[in-house]
Structure 1
Amino acid sequence: MASEPAQKVSKESAPKAPGLLRSSGVVGVMTMLSRVLGLVRDMVIARYFGAGAGADAFFVAFKIPNFLRRLFAEGAFSQAFVPVLSSYREKEAIGAVRQLVNAVAGSLGLVLLGVTLVAMLGSPVLTMVFAPGFIDEPEKFALASDMLRITFPYLLLISLTAFAGAILNSYDRFAVPAFTPVLLNLAMIGAAIFLSPLMETKVMALAWGVFIAGALQLFFQLPFLMRLGLLPRPRVDYRHEGVRRVLRLMAPALFGVSVSQINLLLDTVLASFLQTGSVSWLYYSDRLSELPLGVFGVAIGTVILPNLSRKHAAEAPDQFARTVDWAIRAVLLIGAPAALALAMLAEPLIATLFHYGEVTGRDVVMSAQSLRAYSAGLLAFMLIKVLAPGFFARQDTRTPVKIGVIAMVANMVFNLALVLPLAHAGLALATSLSAWLNATLLWRGLRREKAWQVQARWWRFLLQLLVANGALALVVFWLNSPVDQWLAMSGLQRAQQMGLLVVAGAAVYFLVLVLAGVRLRHFRLK
C-alpha cells in the first residue's frame, strides 16, 4: 500500500459527493453497457449452443455460483457491510476504517475459500440438489457437475470483487464497480467464439469463460482501491467489532434483499423436471427482464444505500425519508413503462435477440410466455431493490428477513399451484406474485416506522404516469406486427423494427410526461 500521507482518505479531504440523480445516471449508464453486452453474450450463446441439453447443463452450472454471488456477495454481505463501513467513515478515523477493511477481507476470504473447495469436491451433490431432474439423464448430469467444478470458484473471485466494489461505492466511486460486469460478458463472448472450437465438449468453454471473468473482475478493481488508500491487507480477525457487526447483520440479510434470487433458483429446480428447453427458456426471459431491473432498479438501490447509511448515522430522519421517497418515484418513472413494454413486446424482443442459429420459433414463443410472466413482477423486483436499503441502512435486518421468509413460502405455494397448468411460465408468474408480496410488506414496514413519509404531489405524479403509460401502450399496439411476421423477418429487419418501436414508444412516453408537467429538476436530490 502507498504511504499514509499520499493516500489518506478522510471526511475533510474527500470530494463532495455527487447528487443522487447524477450518481444513479452514472451507474445506470455503466450497467446499461454491461446489460447490452450481456444480451450480446446471450445471443452468442444461443447461436452456438441453442436451448438443448448442453445449454441446460451450463445454465445450471453457472446459476449455482451466480445465485450464491447474488445472495451472499451482492445481497447479504453488501447490505451488511456498507452500513457498517459508512458508520466507520462518518464517526472514526481513517486508521480504524483500514483496520475494518483488513479484518473483513481476511475473514471473508477464508470462509469463501473453504466453501469453494468443499463445493468443487462435492459438485455432483450440488447438481443433484439444484437440478434433481437431471439425475435421470446421466450425460447431462455429468456435464453439469464437471462444469460446476470450473464455475464455482467464480463465487470466491466475484465475492471479493463485490467487497472491493462496496468500499468504492461507500466513497461514492460508483462507476468502476458498475463497469466491472462488462468483463464477464466479454470473457464469455470470447470463450464461446474462440475457445469452444478448441474444446472436445464445446459448451465447456463457457465454464472456463466464467472462471476467467472472475479473475479479471477482481484484479480490475484493485488499483482503484489503492488510489483510495484502502487496498486490503487481509487479516483474519473474527473478534473485530466491525466484523462481528457485519456477521450479525448478514445472517438475516441472507433472506431479506435476496429472496427474489431464492425464488428464481426454485424455478430452476422445478424447471429441471419439465421438458428439455425449460431451463433455457426461463434463462433467456429472465435475462431480458433483468435489463431494466439492473440498469435502473439496482442502480438506484446501489446509490441510495451508502447515502441512506450516512443520513442514518448523522441522525437526519427527514432527509432519510425524502431519499426513500425519491427512490420510489424514480423506480415508478422507469419501471412502469419498462414492464408494460416487456409484456406487449415479449415475442418480438425474444425473436430480435435470440432467434438465430439453434433457437427455433417454438423456443421464441415459449420464452416469451415466461418473459410476459416476469414482466408482471418487474416493478415489484425494482421496488424491492430500493425499499430493502431503507431497512439495511438503519442496520435493521430482522424485518426484511421476516418479510423474505413470508415471500419465499408464498413463492413455493404459487409454484406448486401454477407449474402444472402453465409449466415454465407458471414458475415465472409465481416469482412475480411473491415479489409483489415482498415489495408490499417492505413498503408497509417503512411507512409504519416513518422511514418513508408521503411527500408532496404524489397523486398528481401517479396520474401523470398513468396518462404517459397509456400513450405508450397505444403507440406500441399501433406499430407492432403479428408474431409470425417477426419470425419471418431477417435479423436486420427485426432490429430495425424493434428500434422503431423503442424510439417511438420512449419518445411518446417522455413527451407526454413533459406535457403533463414532469421536469428533470423534480428528481434532483443530494
Structure 2
Amino acid sequence: MSLLRNVGTIGGLTAVSRVFGFARDILLARVLGAGMAADAFQLAFTLPNTFRRLFAEGAFSVAFVPLYSRALHGRDGEPGSEEAAEKFADDVLSVFVWVLFAFSGICMVFMPAIVWALASEYGDVPGKFELSVFLSRVTFPYLFFISLVAMLSGLLNARSRFGPGAVAPVLLNIFLISGILLGDHWRGTSGDDVVVVQVLAAAVSLSGFAQLLYLAWETRRAGVKLKVQLPRVTPEVKRLGLLILPATFGAGIYQISQLVDTFFATSLPQGSLTLLKLADRLNQMPLGIVGIALGTAILPMLSRHIHTGDQAEAQRLQGNAFEIATLLTLPAAAALAVCAPAFCTAFFVGGKFTATDGALMAQIVVALVAGLPAYVIVKVLNPGFFAREDTRTPVWTALASLIFNVALNLYVVNRFGIVGLAAATAASASLNCVLLYIILHRRGWFHFTPKLISRVARQLLATGAMTGVLWYLVPLMAERYGASLIERVWSLGVLVAAGGAMFFAAAFVFGALDKDLLAQLRRRKPARTKADDKILEVE
C-alpha cells in the first residue's frame, strides 16, 4: 500500500479532527472565557492527555506495533501467523489493563498532591484548587480508556487499517462540543461556569469510553477477537516492557517540557493557562498535519537509502523534505503572526471571552509561531538519526532544550508574563533544531547545499512579500473582525485570499517553487528510479 495514501488518510482525518477541535475551542472560549473554571478545566484536561502521549501513544505504540507486526507477518525468515499475533495481543492486553487500572487509581487517590505540584498558586483563589482536583479526578479515567484505544489503533495500523485510529479523536471533540452546549444549557441564567466544566469533565471520560467501543468494534470487523485473561509476564511481554522504558524516557522529555510550561502558566494571573492552551491550538494546526506527515513519510525512504549505502540519495531526500517543510511553514508562521489579532478577535472574542483576552491571546500566538518552522524541521531532522538506529542523540538534544527552556522561563516569566513563557518555548524549540542540524552536519549525514540555501532564501523573499501585504491589510479591516458573522467571514476571507495569492505569485517570480519536487507530492506511483524516487511513496 502506498505510504503517500496512508499519510493522506491520516492527515486528512487529522485535519477533520482539528477542525472539530477548533470549533470546540471557540465554543469553550465564548462560554467560559478565561476565568477560574476555564483554568481548572484546562489543567484537568492536560493531566490525562500528558500521560496518554507519554505512555499510550508514545512509548507503548512505538514498542507494541513492531512486535505485533513481527508476530503477525514474520521477520528474518521466521513465519508469522494470526494465532501468534492474537496470543501476543491477548497477553499484552491482560497485563496492560491491570497496569492502567492501578496507575489510574493511584493517581486519582493522590490527585490533590499532583495538582498542588503543578498549580500550588491555585490555592490562592478560593475554590480553584478544590475544583481543579475534582475535575482532574473526573477526567482521569480517560487515560485508561484512551490507552486501550491506542493499543487497538496500533493493532489495526499493523494490518494497514489506518482510518479508525485517525477517526477516534473526532469522537472526543464531538463529545466535548456536546458537553459545552449541554453544560451551558443546564446552568441557565445563573451563569455558573462550574456547572459547565463539571459536565465537560464528564464528557472527556465518556468520550474515551466511546472511542474504546468504536475501536473494539473495528477490531472485531478486522477479524481480531481479543480477550482479557489472568495476567502473565511472558518473554514477549517482558521484551515489550524493556522496549517501552527507553521510549518512555525519550518521549518523556517533551511531555515534561509541557508540564513545565503548565507549571509556570499556573503561577501567572488567572486565565493565563487557558489563553496559552487556546493559542497553542492555532499553532498546532499546521504542525500537527505538516510535521507529522513529513516525519512519517521520509523515515522509511531514508532508512532504505542508508541501509544500501547510498548517502547521496539520503542527503537529497532529507534536503527535499527540509525544502518542503520551510515552503509550508515559513508563510504559515508569518501569516499567523501578522493576522493573530484578526484571527483571535474573529474566532474567539464574544460571550465571556473579552476583547482584552483576545488581544493577549494574539500576543501569545505571535510568540509561539516564532518557533513553528523549528517544530516542523525537527520532524525532518530526527529521521536522520532514527534511520541510522541512533535514538540517543535526539533525546540528548531535547534534554538540552528542556534545560534551556526552564532556565529561560525563570528569567522571562516574571518580566514578560505568559507571552514571555510562549517565547521561551519557541526559543527552546529553535535551539533543539539547531543542535540536531549541527550534529548531523559534523557527522557528515546532512548539510545545506547551495541549491537548498538558495531555495529557502527565495521562500523567505516570497514570505516577506506576503507579510507586507497582510501587514497593510490587517489594520484596514480592524473593525470588521469583531462585527457580524458575515463581516468576520468576509474580512478573514480577504486576508487569506490576498495572502495566499501574494505568496504564490511572489514564489513564482522569485523561483521559490521547485516544480519537480512539488510534482512528487501529487504523484501516486512514481517510477522506481533515482531520478524520480523523490520522497513520499513506497509500496
Query: TM-score, normalization: structure 2?
Result: 0.85
Distance 1:257 1:460, change over 3 A: farther
Where 2:268 maps in the other structure, the secondary structure is coil
Where 2:61 maps in the other structure, the secondary structure is helix
Note if 1:503 corresponds to 2:497: yes
Note if 1:18 corresponds to 2:2: yes
Residue deviations 1:308-360, cap 9 Å, x none?
A: 69849976776766655554333222122111111111111111111010011
Compute the displacement of 1:123 (Å).
Answer: 1.7
Paired position in structure 1 for 2:471: 477
Mapping for residues 113-152 of structure 1, pairs under 5 Å: 113-152=101-140
Compute the displacement of 1:181 (Å).
Answer: 1.1
Compute the displacement of 1:287 (Å).
Answer: 1.1
Is the CA contact 1:31–1:299 (under 8 Å) kept in the aligned structure 2?
A: no
Compute the displacement of 1:303 (Å).
Answer: 4.7
Compute the displacement of 1:375 (Å).
Answer: 0.5
Is the CA contact 2:345–2:481 (under 8 Å) kept in the aligned structure 1?
A: yes
Paired position in structure 2 for 1:254: 248
Paired position in structure 2 for 1:156: 144
Compute the displacement of 1:197 (Å).
Answer: 3.2
Compute the displacement of 1:218 (Å).
Answer: 2.2
Note if 1:381 corresponds to 2:375: yes
Query: Which shifted more, 484-493 or 496-505?
Result: 484-493
Paired position in structure 2 for 1:521: 519
Paired position in structure 1 for 2:333: 339
Is the CA contact 1:164–1:225 (under 8 Å) kept in the aligned structure 2?
A: yes
Is the CA contact 1:286–1:371 (under 8 Å) kept in the aligned structure 2?
A: yes
In the alignment of these two chains, the number of paired residues is 507
Note if 1:64 corresponds to 2:51: no
State how far apart, in whole Å, the 1-side matches of 2:316 and 2:292 are.
19
Query: Which shifted more, 437-446 or 84-93?
Result: 84-93
Paired position in structure 1 for 2:81: 94
Paired position in structure 2 for 1:166: 154
Is the CA contact 1:104–1:234 (under 8 Å) kept in the aligned structure 2?
A: no
Note if 1:240 corresponds to 2:235: yes
Distance 1:393 1:80, change over 3 A: farther
Paired position in structure 1 for 2:167: 179
Residue deviations 1:252-276, cap 9 Å, x none?
A: 3334345343323212211212111
State how far apart, in whole Å, the 1-side matches of 2:302 and 2:141 are.
31
Paired position in structure 2 for 1:8: none
Is the CA contact 1:255–1:404 (under 8 Å) kept in the aligned structure 2?
A: no
Compute the displacement of 1:496 (Å).
Answer: 1.7
Residue deviations 1:40-89, cap 9 Å, x none?
A: 10111112111110111100110111122122222333333345455654
> What's the C-alpha RMSD, in Å, of the aligned pairs?
3.0
State how far apart, in whole Å, the 1-side matches of 2:130 and 2:47 are.
15
Residue deviations 1:398-441, cap 9 Å, x none?
A: 32322222111111001111101110111111111111122233
2:195 pairs with one of 178, 201, 212: 201
Residue deviations 1:213-248, cap 9 Å, x none?
A: 11122222234334444454456444434x444433
Compute the displacement of 1:453 (Å).
Answer: 6.7
Compute the displacement of 1:176 (Å).
Answer: 2.8
State how far apart, in whole Å, the 2-side matches of 1:434 and 1:481 are.
31
Q: Which amino acid aligns with 1:41?
A: R
Q: Which amino acid aligns with 1:131?
A: A
Distance 1:391 1:504, change over 3 A: same
1:55 pairs with one of 34, 38, 53: 38
Note if 1:75 corresponds to 2:51: no
Mapping for residues 262-277 of structure 1, pairs under 5 Å: 262-277=256-271
Paired position in structure 2 for 1:6: none
Is the CA contact 1:112–1:156 (under 8 Å) kept in the aligned structure 2?
A: yes
Distance 1:313 1:376, change over 3 A: closer
State how far apart, in whole Å, the 2-side matches of 1:448 and 1:429 are.
29
Where 2:250 maps in the other structure, the secondary structure is coil
Q: Which amino acid aligns with 1:108?
A: F
Where 2:166 maps in the other structure, the secondary structure is helix
Is the CA contact 1:83–1:392 (under 8 Å) kept in the aligned structure 2?
A: no
Query: Which shifted more, 291-300 or 191-200?
Result: 191-200
1:433 pairs with one of 427, 432, 435: 427
Identify which of structures 1 and 2 has the higher relative contact order when contacts are C-alpha pairs closer than 8 Å and 6+ apart: 1
Paired position in structure 2 for 1:4: none
Is the CA contact 1:151–1:211 (under 8 Å) kept in the aligned structure 2?
A: yes
Compute the displacement of 1:472 (Å).
Answer: 2.0
State how far apart, in whole Å, the 2-side matches of 1:250 and 1:315 are.
29
Distance 1:355 1:313, change over 3 A: same
Is the CA contact 1:289–1:374 (under 8 Å) kept in the aligned structure 2?
A: yes
Where 2:34 maps in the other structure, the secondary structure is coil
Paired position in structure 1 for 2:190: none
Instruction: For structure 1, list consecutive stretches of 5 or more residues without a partner in the other structure.
Output: 1-16
Query: TM-score, normalization: structure 1?
Result: 0.87
Note if 1:282 corresponds to 2:276: yes
Instruction: For structure 2, list consecutive stretches of 5 or more residues without a partner in the other structure.
Output: 188-193, 522-534
Paired position in structure 2 for 1:3: none
Q: Which amino acid aligns with 1:119?
A: C
Compute the displacement of 1:392 (Å).
Answer: 4.7
Distance 1:186 1:25, change over 3 A: same
Compute the displacement of 1:444 (Å).
Answer: 3.9
Paired position in structure 2 for 1:400: 394
Distance 1:223 1:410, change over 3 A: same
State how far apart, in whole Å, the 2-side matches of 1:94 and 1:385 are.
34
Where 1:356 maps in the other structure, the secondary structure is coil
Paired position in structure 2 for 1:9: none
Residue deviations 1:7-26, cap 9 Å, x none?
A: xxxxxxxxxx2143x43333
